Structure 1
Amino acid sequence: MDKKRVSVPLVCHGHSRPVVDLFYSPITPDGFFLISASKDSNPMLRNGETGDWIGTFEGHKGAVWSCCLDTNALRSATGSADFSAKVWDAITGDELHSFEHKHIVRACAFSEDTHLLLTGGLEKVLRIFDLNRPDAPPREVDKSPGSVRTVAWLHSDQTILSSCTDMGGVRLWDVRSGRIVQTLDTKSSVTSAEVSQDGRYITTADGASVKFWDANYFGLVKSYDMPCTVESASLEPKYGNKFTAGGEDMWVRVFDFHTGEEIACNKGHHGPVHCVRFSPGGESYASGSEDGTIRIWQTGPLTHEDSEALPAPVPGGKLKVGGAEELSRKVDSLNITDEVKPKEKEEVGNA
């Protein structure tokens, strides 16, 4: 690869406490969106391309540890230290459902078909809520061996992935039987697990290394030792030729997927990086930090390898992410606070 590139990021302010989770929606007719979870208890929705703040979901009384958007970016979900997982209308900002738990909810994920919500946390129980029957008791999957740190769906919602805060490995659960069918072994606990956009790979960060697993046969494809303890990693979704990782040294690094060579090292955060995620088109990636900011980094000019893989140009040129009128409608219809920066609220629980 050619010499390392240094990016100047878009800096997104607004959170008053550390940003601990980020999630990009797929590309929708209105563009794509970015939701952030923070210990300030106020998850925020942004334009995924520009980073512009759209609105704040208000209602949690404790740190928000996890956030996600459904396939159409019409609903969002959050898991919190206030012992609840909430589902929100992503257009109006209204709370649609609040699912009570007996302990801190550390992770949540919508199913691919958007009908189910998966949650996990310090109760060591994986729960599946049917959003078409929100008043019905959730289905509980066989007890997790440890406190749940991450969850994800794969194989068209037939398999659940989870990792634990207090032990190594990633467990794959068969949804029908509710049993663990496979464990991906790691020495340390997995703090980040992501299923690639094409469903081929599972990307994990376990502190000392970033690993890529075959999502269908579960074999280890690649493992790279990291220059520092990393908390999160994300694979570029379009070509799969690079990945980003961030952790305790406050830097956001980009690596070559095939060789593990470091391509870029982005400095700017003033605290450890808790989460990194690529945008759905791969043109940028976002990082959330202990310093309370989100930074959106452009991937820079395409390499020669990238340009060879590009499809024919679409008439009209660059994809336009939503019209100004549509974005204005979304902003106007959201229940938003008077000022972008919310008041800091007392954190409930600290896991």
Structure 2
Amino acid sequence: MEKKKSAVVPLVCHGHSRPVVDLFYSPVTPDGFFLISASKDSIPMLRNGETGDWIGTFEGHKGAVWSCCLDSNALRAATGSADFTAKIWDALTGDELHSFEHKHIVRACAFSEDRHLLLTGGFEKVLRIFDLNQPTEPPREVDKSPGLIRTVAWLHDDRSILSSCTELGGVRLWDVRSGQIVKILETVSPVTSAEVSQDGRYITTADGSTVKFWDANNFELVKSYNLAFTVESASFEPVHGSKFVAGGEDMWVHLFDFHTGEEITCNKGHHGPVHCVRFSPRGESCASGSEDGTIRIWQTAAHSAPDENEASNSNGPTGKAKIGVSDVEQKVEDLHITHEEQQKTEERRKMSLQIPNS
């Protein structure tokens, strides 16, 4: 198939030494928004979501990191790893706050919208919900999954959970109170990516070479597009809802019109399969992570394309370093979630933490 010329020159973010397998954007905070990445090199990284500038790394995992996320105010991060743990981190200092032991690989993790809970899933076929106000207490275990868990997400103000399996088709909807599966969104192939849109209106799934959009309230299929390549990940544009991005085995990052399915751009840059794509919270750009170990940030708003040889770089560290924040002025005084957190926000942002020397 003849490829369209790249309409965008990406911002290239180096730093990982092995494949990048997951990406997550924080919501917009008073200090901007942030991008966290998970890689098989065992070292998650935090970046400025707009510029791609490296902020720091989270050190502590002893195996590939498969999943990563930030809470809604970007003060804490969570990661799931092949070392049989999920970890909670201080997103300002890089310090490990808690490590939750599992009995097998943790493939997926997600903060609840209210930031009180952490959801994990993986090769144990068990969904676990950890209370972050009482991290030493045993987690609640939801009814056993029918297969190895690939993705997890919260829905409906934390009353529902979505999960998909590595070897089974479909997305399962779980009721949190009963712990039972109440609905299955049917797909032919296993779902490799499942994302709830920023406004909670759509669920975007990728299975095989198909990207589907489901109504998140009645679970009816809204759109389904068969693409010309095997898709590993897809993401819905969060502001105008007019585009979606998809990436997979063909190493390209494809931007499509949501309403018609017509390809808008086909962006060249990666040198290996694209494992994950995510739109930024403002919708003006998207990030992709690849087998080649790089993250690329692509502008998706209409603009004139620069010369392809002028791709800019946002390089990562040459050595390990604990996280540091030079652009973020925040201070965490309480590791537990309290009802006074909103009142303390301004006070927490008075301290600027500089990146220490490696």
Output the CA distance in 2 between the equivalents of 1:80 and 1:334: 27
Matched with 2:296 is 295
1:200-215 matches, within 5 Å, as: 200-215=201-216
Matched with 1:149 is 150
For 1:66, give the aligned amino acid. Answer: S
Contact 2:117 2:132 (C-alpha < 8 Å) held by counterparts: yes
Q: Per-residue displacement from partner, 1:100-139 (whole Å, max 9, x unpaired)? A: 0000000000000000000000000000000000011000
Output the CA distance in 2 between the equivalents of 1:336 and 1:99: 27
Contact 1:93 1:334 (C-alpha < 8 Å) held by counterparts: no
For 1:289, give the aligned amino acid. Answer: S
Contact 1:93 1:335 (C-alpha < 8 Å) held by counterparts: no
Q: Secondary structure at the match of 1:11?
A: strand
Q: Per-residue displacement from partner, 1:262-294 (whole Å, max 9, x unpaired)? A: 000000000000000000000100000000000
Contact 2:326 2:355 (C-alpha < 8 Å) held by counterparts: no
Moved >3 Å (runs of 4+): 324-332, 334-337
Q: Per-residue displacement from partner, 1:179-237 (whole Å, max 9, x unpaired)? A: 00000000000000000001110000002100000000001111000110010000000
Matched with 1:333 is 353
Is 2:195 the partner of 1:194? yes
Output the CA distance in 2 between the equivalents of 1:117 and 1:334: 28
Contact 1:212 1:222 (C-alpha < 8 Å) held by counterparts: yes
Quickly say closer, same or farther: Cα 1:54–1:168, change in 2 above 3 A: same
Output the CA distance in 1 between the equivalents of 2:5 and 2:214: 27
Contact 1:160 1:175 (C-alpha < 8 Å) held by counterparts: yes
For 2:70, give the aligned amino acid. Answer: L
Q: Secondary structure at the match of 1:210?
A: strand
Matched with 1:50 is 51
Aligned length: 316
Output the CA distance in 2 between the equivalents of 1:328 and 1:145: 45
Q: Secondary structure at the match of 2:100?
A: strand
Contact 2:191 2:207 (C-alpha < 8 Å) held by counterparts: yes
Output the CA distance in 1 between the equivalents of 2:218 and 2:328: 42
Q: TM-score with structure 1 length normalisation?
A: 0.87
For 2:59, give the aligned amino acid. Answer: E
Output the CA distance in 1 between the equivalents of 2:71 and 2:329: 21
Matched with 2:171 is 170
For 2:296, give the aligned amino acid. Answer: R
Report how far residue 49 of structure 1 moved: 0.2
Q: Secondary structure at the match of 1:190?
A: strand
Matched with 1:224 is 225
Report how far residue 333 of structure 1 moved: 2.5
Report how far residue 328 of structure 1 moved: 7.6
Contact 1:55 1:334 (C-alpha < 8 Å) held by counterparts: no
The percent of aligned pairs where both chains have the same amino acid is: 80
Report how far residue 176 of structure 1 moved: 0.4
Output the CA distance in 1 between the equivalents of 2:181 and 2:237: 29
Matched with 1:248 is 249
Report how far residue 336 of structure 1 moved: 5.8
Matched with 1:279 is 280
Report how far residue 327 of structure 1 moved: 3.5
Quickly say closer, same or farther: Cα 1:163–1:334, change in 2 above 3 A: farther
For 1:124, give the aligned amino acid. Answer: K
Report how far residue 325 of structure 1 moved: 6.6
1:1-351 matches, within 5 Å, as: 6-301=7-302, 326-327=327-328, 333=353, 338=358
Output the CA distance in 2 between the equivalents of 1:63 and 1:226: 30
Output the CA distance in 2 between the equivalents of 1:84 and 1:334: 28
Output the CA distance in 2 between the equivalents of 1:123 and 1:334: 39
Q: Secondary structure at the match of 1:227?
A: coil
Output the CA distance in 2 between the equivalents of 1:119 and 1:184: 20
Contact 1:4 1:263 (C-alpha < 8 Å) held by counterparts: no
Q: TM-score with structure 2 length normalisation?
A: 0.85
Q: Per-residue displacement from partner, 1:55-85 (whole Å, max 9, x unpaired)? A: 0000000000000000000000000000000
Contact 1:94 1:335 (C-alpha < 8 Å) held by counterparts: no
Contact 1:148 1:162 (C-alpha < 8 Å) held by counterparts: yes
Report how far residue 5 of structure 1 moved: 6.2
The runs of 5 or more residues in structure 2 that have no matched partner are 304-324, 332-350
Q: What is the alpha-carbon root mean square deviation over aligned residues?
A: 1.9
Report how far residue 335 of structure 1 moved: 6.6
Q: Per-residue displacement from partner, 1:270-321 (whole Å, max 9, x unpaired)? A: 000000000000010000000000000001327xxxxxxxxxxxxxxxxxxx
Q: Secondary structure at the match of 2:153?
A: strand
For 1:13, give the aligned amino acid. Answer: H
For 1:40, give the aligned amino acid. Answer: D
Contact 2:5 2:267 (C-alpha < 8 Å) held by counterparts: no
The runs of 5 or more residues in structure 1 that have no matched partner are 303-323, 339-351
